[in-house]
Amino acid sequence: MQTATPSASTSSVALRYGLLTGLVGIIYMFVTFATGQESNQPVSWFSLVIPITGVYLAHKAFKQLNGGFMSYGQGVGIGVLLSVVSGVLSSVFNYVYRTIIDPDVTTRTVEAARAKMEAAGTMSDAQIDQAMAMASKFSSGPIMLIIGLVVSVLFGLLTSLVIAAITKNPKPEFE
**pLDDT surpassing 70 at residue 136:** yes
pTM of the model: 0.84
State the pLDDT confidence band at 175, using cuts at 50, 70 and 90.
Answer: low
pLDDT digits (tens, 9 = 90+) for 144-161: 889 989 999 999 999 999
Does residue 61 fall inside a structural domain? yes
Counted domains in the chain: 1
The proportion of the chain whose per-residue pLDDT surpasses 90, expressed as a percent, equals 55
**pLDDT surpassing 90 at residue 76:** yes
User: In 84-117, which positions are buried (b, 16+ CB within 10 angstroms) versus exposed (e)?
Assistant: bbbbbbbbebbbebbeeeeeebbeebbeebeeeb
Does residue 150 fall inside a structural domain? yes
pLDDT digits (tens, 9 = 90+) for 6-30: 568 999 999 999 999 999 999 999 9
Average pLDDT over residues 27-52: 91
State the Cα–Cα distance between residues 141 and 92, nearest whole angstrom.
Answer: 11
Does residue 172 fall inside a structural domain? no
Does residue 5 fall inside a structural domain? no
pLDDT value of residue 44: 87
State the pLDDT confidence band at 3, using cuts at 50, 70 and 90.
Answer: very low
Does residue 92 fall inside a structural domain? yes
Does residue 144 fall inside a structural domain? yes
More confident residue, 49 or 128: 49
Cβ pair 124, 130 in contact under 8 A: no
- Give the torsion sign (CA, 7, 73, 77, 168): positive
Does residue 159 fall inside a structural domain? yes
State the Cα–Cα distance between residues 17 and 30, nearest whole angstrom.
Answer: 20
